[in-house]
Amino acid sequence: MSAKNPIERFQSARGAIRLFVLEGKQAAVYLLTSNPLAGFCLANNTDIKCPPEPSPLAAARFYVTKPQREILGWLGFRPATEAVAKIGRKCVPESLTIERCRRLRQALRREDIRQLLAHLPRINTGVLALVAEGELLTYLAPQLRLQVAEGAIEDGPPEYIELLRDIHELRLELGHGEPTRKLSSVKEMRIVHQELVEEITRSGGRRYRERQFSAPPVSGITKVDLTITPITNVGGLQTLSRSQHNCVAAYVRSVSNKECYDGNWEAWLKFFLKGVAEVSDAATNTARQILALRESGRRTLMESLGNSVAGHKLFDYLFEQPIITVRLVEQHLDCSYVKANQVVEQFVQAGLLQETTGWKRNRRFRFKPYLDLFEQPQPAEDAGEVD
Sorted by where each starts, the structural domains of the chain and their CATH numbers stand as 4-159 (no CATH), 212-263 (no CATH), 275-372 (1.10.10.10)
**Mean pLDDT, rounded, for 232-258:** 55
**Residue 34: predicted pLDDT:** 95
**Taking residues 212-225, what's their average pLDDT?**
56
Q: Which of 32-41, 182-191, 211-220 has the lowest mean pLDDT?
A: 211-220
For 171, the enclosing helix (H) or strand (E) is: helix 160-174
- Statement: residue 101 has pLDDT above 50: yes
State which of 16-30, 124-138, 156-170 shows the largest mean pLDDT: 16-30
Q: What is the DSSP letter of 93?
A: G
> What's the average model confidence in pLDDT over 75-92?
95
Which pLDDT band holds residue 155 (cuts at 50, 70, 90)?
A: very low
Q: Is 295 exposed, middle or buried (0-12, 13-18, 19+ CB in 10 A)?
A: exposed
The pLDDT assigned to 40 comes to: 96
Residue 50, judged by CB atoms within 10 A of its CB (0-12, 13-18, 19+), counts as exposed
Least confident of 11-25, 43-57, 123-137, 339-353: 123-137
CA–CA gap between residue 235 and residue 216 (Å, rounded): 16
pLDDT of residue 52: 85
Angle (CA) 130-131-132 rounded to 5° is 90
Lowest mean pLDDT among 90-94, 208-212, 228-232, 323-327: 208-212
pLDDT confidence of residue 221 = 55
Sign of the dihedral through C-alpha 353, 356, 362, 366:
negative
Give the percent of the chain with pLDDT over 70: 74
Evaluate if residue 337 carries a pLDDT over 80.
Answer: yes
Q: Of the spans 94-98, 151-155, 212-216, 253-257, which averages the highest pLDDT?
A: 94-98
Q: Which residues make Cβ contacts (< 8 Å) with residue 57, sequence separation at least 6? A: 19, 23, 362
Alpha carbons 171 and 197: distance in angstroms, whole number: 10
Residue 31, pLDDT score: 95
All residues at 6 or more sequence positions from 224 whose CB lies less than 8 Å from its CB, including other chains: 385, 386, 387
Average pLDDT over the chain, rounded to an integer = 79
- First CA to last CA across the chain, in angstroms? 58
Separation CA 26–CA 16 (nearest Å) = 16
Q: pLDDT-based confidence at 336, cuts 50/70/90?
A: very high
Comparing 72 with 297, the larger pLDDT belongs to: 72
Percent of the chain's residues with pLDDT above 90: 33
- Does residue 143 register a pLDDT over 90? no
